[in-house]
């Protein structure tokens, strides 16, 4: 469905701590994402998990290497507040996002009441997003992506925000989508969520894939690596 082949990603950095001002974030990363699977990406803070999702979503081009997506397939990055036009209402943002993800205006309008109901934003749905809390933005972003149709859903930590009740509801809805043949790439620091939702896990560190495969085994190796020896 999607493949990264020998992907390198460098950022130019003003910090002197990196090699000649270049920060090598991804260093020869290759993997395949298969249709209908839920792939988890784990690793310490700052190792490049979000960067990988942004490359898969075509938001960021790799410094070198190839990203191949099956023709006609859409991928959408689900993250807090990304792409929200803050002067527009929740309703208009939901409409825009659904259309950007490939829905016609009519189809997108058809999703709006469902988005309002699931997100539990009430009258705030008609308010500008600049007045939203981060929890409210994530409810809007999560719900819009959940209810519109994308072939590959790229989920960045979004299930870890919001109150406990909404989080449980979001996790249940995500599970249903996964069961219903949605292809998902899921970045999370929650072992429990990754184990509950993912078929396969990739662990990255130092720009490389350090482990790949069964969630229990890869998470256990990752946790072991964090313990002081
Ligand atoms: N636009 C940018 N310009 C320069 N450096 C960047 C940029 N975006 C990310 N980085 C750096 O690249 C590295 C990887 O960032 P990334 O957000 O992908 O990490 P992450 O694994 O998702 O982290 P976390 O678990 O904390 O969310 C970090 O060191 C970060 O500071």
Residue 229: per-residue pLDDT? 67
DSSP annotation of 19 reads B
Residue with tokens 């256990």: 220
| Residue 219 in domain | no
- Give the domain extent around 139: 85-144
Task: Tell me how many domains the chain contains.
Answer: 1
Does residue 215 form part of some domain?
Answer: no
Q: Residues 11-44: pLDDT tens digits?
A: 987 655 556 678 889 999 999 999 999 999 999 9
Would you say residue 182 lies in a domain?
no
Question: Is 99 a member of any domain?
Answer: yes
Measured N-to-C along each axis, helices 90-100 and 134-147 cross at an angle, to the nearest 10 degrees, of: 40
Q: Is residue 131 part of a domain?
A: yes
Q: Is the pLDDT of residue 222 over 80?
A: yes
Supply the pLDDT for residue 160: 64
Question: Which of 18, 26, 46, 186 to mutate to test ligand 1, by most ligand atoms within 8 A of the CB atom?
Answer: 46
CA-closest candidate to residue 110, choices 158, 152, 149, 154:
149
Q: Is residue 34 part of a domain?
A: no
Can you tell me the distance from the alpha carbon of 188 to that of 42, in angstroms, rounded to the nearest whole number? Answer: 6
Dump pLDDT digits (tens) for 4-14: 999 999 998 76
Ligand 1 site, residue 21, Cβ cutoff 6 A: no
The residue to mutate among 9, 41, 45, 49, having the most atoms of ligand 1 within 8 angstroms of its beta carbon, is 49
ipTM summary value: 0.95
Q: Is residue 33 part of a domain?
A: no
43 near 49, Cβ under 8 Å?
A: yes
Residues in the chain: 229
pLDDT one-digit tens code per residue, 158-189: 666 667 888 888 888 888 888 888 899 999 88
pLDDT value for 208: 96
The rounded mean pLDDT for the chain is 88
* pLDDT at 97 > cutoff 60: yes
The per-residue pLDDT for range 36-85, each reduced to its tens digit, is 999 999 999 999 999 999 999 998 999 999 999 999 888 888 766 567 88
Q: What is the pLDDT of residue 76?
A: 81
The answer to whether residue 31 sits within a structural domain is no
Q: Check if 79 has its Cβ closer than 6 Å to any atom of ligand 1.
A: no
Q: What is the pLDDT of residue 134?
A: 82
């Amino acid at each position: 469905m999607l493949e990264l082949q020998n992907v390198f990603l460098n950022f130019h950095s003003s910090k002197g701590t990196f090699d000649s001002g270049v920060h090598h974030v991804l260093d020869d990363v290759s993997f395949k994402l298969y249709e209908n699977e839920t792939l988890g990406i784990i690793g310490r803070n700052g190792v490049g998990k979000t960067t990988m999702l942004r490359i898969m979503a075509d938001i960021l081009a790799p410094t070198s290497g190839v990203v191949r997506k099956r023709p006609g397939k859409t991928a959408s990055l689900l993250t807090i507040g990304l792409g929200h036009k803050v002067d527009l209402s929740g309703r208009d943002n939901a409409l825009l996002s659904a259309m950007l993800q490939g829905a016609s205006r009519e189809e997108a309008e058809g999703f709006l009441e469902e988005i309002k109901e699931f997100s539990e934003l009430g009258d705030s749905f008609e308010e500008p997003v600049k007045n939203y809390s981060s929890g409210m933005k994530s409810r809007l972003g999560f719900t819009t992506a959940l209810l519109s149709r994308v072939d590959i859903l790229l989920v960045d930590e979004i299930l870890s925000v919001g109150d406990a009740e909404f989080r449980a509801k979001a996790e249940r809805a995500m599970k249903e989508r996964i069961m219903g043949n949605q292809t998902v790439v899921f970045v999370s620091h929650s072992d429990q969520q990754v184990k509950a939702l993912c078929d396969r896990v990739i662990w990255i560190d130092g720009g490389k894939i350090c482990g790949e495969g069964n969630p229990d085994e890869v998470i256990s190796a990752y946790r072991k690596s964090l313990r002081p020896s």
